[in-house]
Amino acid sequence: MNITLRAFIKKELAQTLRDVRMRVLLFGAPVIQLTIFGLALSTEIKNIKLAFFYAPDDVMARRLEGDFYSSGWFKPVDFTAGEDPLELIVSGRADAAIIAPDEGLARSSERGEGRVQLLVDASNATKARTVETYVKTIISAGWAGKGGGAANPPPVKLDVRVLYNPAMESSLFLVPGVMGMVVCLITIILTAMSLAREREMGTFETIVSAPLSDAEILLGKTIPFVLLGLAVTALTLLAAYFFFGVPVRGPLWQLALGSLVFIITTVSVGTLISTIAKNQQQAMLGGFIFLFPAILMSGIMYPVENMPTTVIAAAYLNPLMCFMRILRSVLLKGGEAYVFWTNMGALALMAMAAGGLAYNRFKQTLD
Amino acid sequence: MNGFDLNRAYSVARKEVMHILRDPFTLVLALGLPVMLVTFFGYAIDFEVRDIKLAVSDLDQGPAARRLKEIFTSSGYFIPVEAGSGTVGMLDSGKADAALFIEPGFSRTVMGGGPVTAQFIMDGSDNSKAAAVSGYLAGIQRSAAFKLGGAATPEGLAVETRFLYNAELNSQWFTIPGLAAIIIGLLAILLTALTVAREWENGSMELLLSTPVRPIEIIAGKLAPYALLVLGGVFFVYLSSRFVFGVPFAGSRPLFLAFCLLYVVSALSQGLFISVATRQQQVAMQFAMIIGLLPSLLLSGFIFPVESMPPFFNYFTMILPPRWFMEAVRGIFLKGAGLRELALPFLALLALSAALLALALKKFKTDMEP
């Protein structure tokens, strides 16, 4: 590597890492975030406040009620028997209410009219859907087991096995996602702001007047951020591996190559943003415009495939989604070649497009 | 010079307004971005998991096996994909999300009335999908027991469900108010995060400090224009959610406005505090993004319910304004909740915005003494 470029990179790294707060932000924040999100978030819906209304002498219903609270999904609500179930939900004291018939479950089902009413607060539609599924599952299991219906095992049974994450631990699923998000965020902001800053402070002119070629300036301004991005990736990966026991089932070279190409893409996008922005505020808003959709359409929090087809097409232009798929595939599934190379190809195309565009715009701003 | 002089605060505000107007990019973005993002993601986001790719390995080929496959596909959640020789390999490569294995003799056993098992394997590398699939399986198993095994009724006890506030479980009604909360909060943080840091970097802060303007007047003057700007953005978001998406608005508008104001002030103060504390735009922006973006997306209850978090984090999220605002917005829009139901979020937001504002002010004051 030529000596001017090396000096340039050194200056750039020193400038970024000089500030203690920046060092903390770069290397401390990702690990803290990984820890918080890994521990806090769960895709399972729990602690649903349930009120079960039934006549005092209804033994069946009391047994069912026990099933609900011992399932771990529901927790009891304090209420008096005379209260209006609707009022309980409207006031937010309960998320759901089950109302058994007055004559008792056993008698009403003997007459062939066995039914309970379920009221659900559907202001959260996802949660409401889950609550209904839970209730139906618990009721049919409890009913079959407690002698309400036939005590025989169900005639057709599905034997369910979950691959790659048998205990369905949320951290295994979310930690790779948070890793991708944090790396994406840091590299884009760092690059976009650094160039915009030089322009705002007027130091950009100094660099331009120095005996450096266009390519050298561009590389000198971007390589340090690629290196920092890689360091952050390695750090978060170590944290994920040691704190959360996220496995690394695929080959490491896939991880390294995927991260490198992904970071080159994000740094190019950052450069592109900074060539368009006139000052740091615009660079920040530009970064936001890219980051927000990229994160929401990455499949980190909910599957991309649910989106309307036109939007899915746009999601394939999202480098974070490709990186996400590579990360999950390598870490959890063992890095199947098909997944790796298709996403890698897409990432490489995006890296070239964004890099080429950034170089062009950059040259224009230099002249 | 004592107390708070409205005139001086007004002058600072006027200067800030000129700043905003001089940069139309920021102005357009502040007003237009929230409504653009809410509209786009309102269409795009759907938390209901559908079209799960199911590979079936049917070694039985009998009528009961065919019925079982039909039960899966007619549920509306699964779409069959061509199963090659290596069915598990299709899960590895992501060509299928789940696989169903039907052993030889399945139909014969079903005819004989005996208990029979089919194996179902799913990809657990994406929990959001796997959790939904396990939910659907319970219903499928019940319906299989009924249709194939001839169980007397699908269940001895029928459940009649009434979904309150959103009878058809329209997921847009649920995502859009949440999205609005997140985008508005973020934008507010981002807008103010640079204001003070920029003045420090450009050296114009020294100038401002040498004038008789007091810190509280500077803070008020800097907050007011941005608060108005963001509330303008809120207005457009409201119009779009009501008229583009038809989200019902059951609550009171003055209460909604009060909540928006509190929330916007808390977010703006957060940005201002970051700006005052860092004094450098690059660091300020990193902070703003890290403090603003991820926690508000992940810890506010937008996607992952706060109640499902471990107790510690359930309390931890109480210091995040988006959590309270999320609760309030959803309550006001769909449930028509009044101040009585939302007393806790209201007080919490009030306390948080007061605390954040005081924090920014205090930091600013101590900063001014050299």
Per the prediction, chain A carries an average pLDDT of 85
B68: which chain A residues are within 8 Å (Cβ-Cβ)?
156
Average the pLDDT over B155-163 and give the result: 73
In contact, B335 and B165? CB cutoff 8 Å: yes
Mutate to test the interface with A, among B50, B120, B159 (most CBs of A within 10 A): B159
Q: Which of B125, B156, B201 sits opposite A328 (nearest CB)?
A: B125
Q: Which of B173, B281, B294 sits opposite A280 (nearest CB)?
A: B281
Residue B151 — φ and ψ, nearest 5°?
-60, 145
Looking at residue B150, its pLDDT comes to 65
Which residues of chain A are modeled with pLDDT < 70? 1, 112, 144-155, 367
Which residue would you say has higher pLDDT here, B211 or A344? A344
User: Could you give the count of Cα atoms lying within 13 Å of B52 in the half-sphere of its Cβ?
Assistant: 32
Chain B residue with CA closest to A118: the answer is B161
Alpha-carbon gap, residue B206 to B204, rounded angstroms: 5
**C-beta atoms of B297 and A306 within 8 A:** no
Structure tokens at A43: 């895709």
A8-61, pLDDT tens digit by residue? 888 888 888 888 888 888 888 888 888 888 888 877 788 899 999 888 888 888
Domain ranges in chain A with CATH number 3.40.190: 48-145
Which residues does B370 contact at the CB level (< 8 Å), separation at least 6?
A: none
Q: Does domain B52-147 have CATH number 3.20.20.370?
A: no
In contact, B21 and B222? CB cutoff 8 Å: no
Chain B residue with CA closest to A311: the answer is B44
Looking at residue A150, its pLDDT comes to 47
Domain extent listing, chain B: 6-45+166-368, 52-147
Q: Which of B44, B163, B309 sits opposite A308 (nearest CB)?
A: B44
- Shortest Cα–Cα distance, B2 to chain A (Å): 34
Q: Which of B126, B187, B282 sits opposite A173 (nearest CB)?
A: B126
Per the prediction, chain B carries an average pLDDT of 85
| Interface A-B: count of C-beta contacts within 8 A | 371
**C-beta atoms of A25 and B198 within 8 A:** no
Judge whether B22 is closer than 8 Å to chain A, CB to CB. Answer: no
B86-100, pLDDT tens digit by residue? 777 888 888 888 888
* Alpha helices for chain B (secondary structure H): 6-22, 24-44, 63-74, 87-92, 106-111, 127-147, 171-193, 195-202, 204-210, 215-239, 253-278, 281-298, 311-316, 321-330, 343-368
Alpha-carbon gap, residue B95 to B19, rounded angstroms: 53
DSSP collapsed to 3 states, chain A:
CCHHHHHHHHHHHHHHHCCHHHHHHHHHHHHHHHHHHHHHCCCCCCCEEEEEECCCCCHHHHHHHHHHHHCCCEEECCCCCCCCHHHHHHCCCCCEEEECCCCCHHHHHHCCCCEEEEEEECCCHHHHHHHHHHHHHHHHHHHHHCCCCCCCCCCEEEEEEEECCCCCCHHHHHHHHHHHHHHHHHHHHHHHHHHHHHHHHCHHHHHHHCCCCHHHHHHHHHHHHHHHHHHHHHHHHHHHHHHHCCCCCCCHHHHHHHHHHHHHHHHHHHHHHHHHCCCHHHHHHHHHHHHHHHHHCCCCCCCHHHCCHHHHHHHCCCHHHHHHHHHHHHHHHCCCHHHHHHHHHHHHHHHHHHHHHHHHHHHHHHC
Q: What is the ipTM of this complex?
A: 0.84
In contact, B241 and B176? CB cutoff 8 Å: yes
Looking at residue B208, its pLDDT comes to 80
Residue B1: pLDDT band (50, 70, 90) is very low
Judge whether B338 is closer than 8 Å to chain A, CB to CB. Answer: no
Residue B218 — φ and ψ, nearest 5°?
-65, -45
Mutate to test the interface with A, among B285, B323, B330 (most CBs of A within 10 A): B285
Q: Tokens 């590398």 map to which residue?
A: B125
CATH class of A48-145: alpha beta
Chain B residue with CA closest to A18: the answer is B283
One-letter amino acid at A322 equals: C
Alpha-carbon gap, residue B308 to B297, rounded angstroms: 16
Least confident range from A145-154, A291-300, B147-156, B193-202: namely A145-154
Mutate to test the interface with A, among B72, B81, B123, B298 (most CBs of A within 10 A): B298
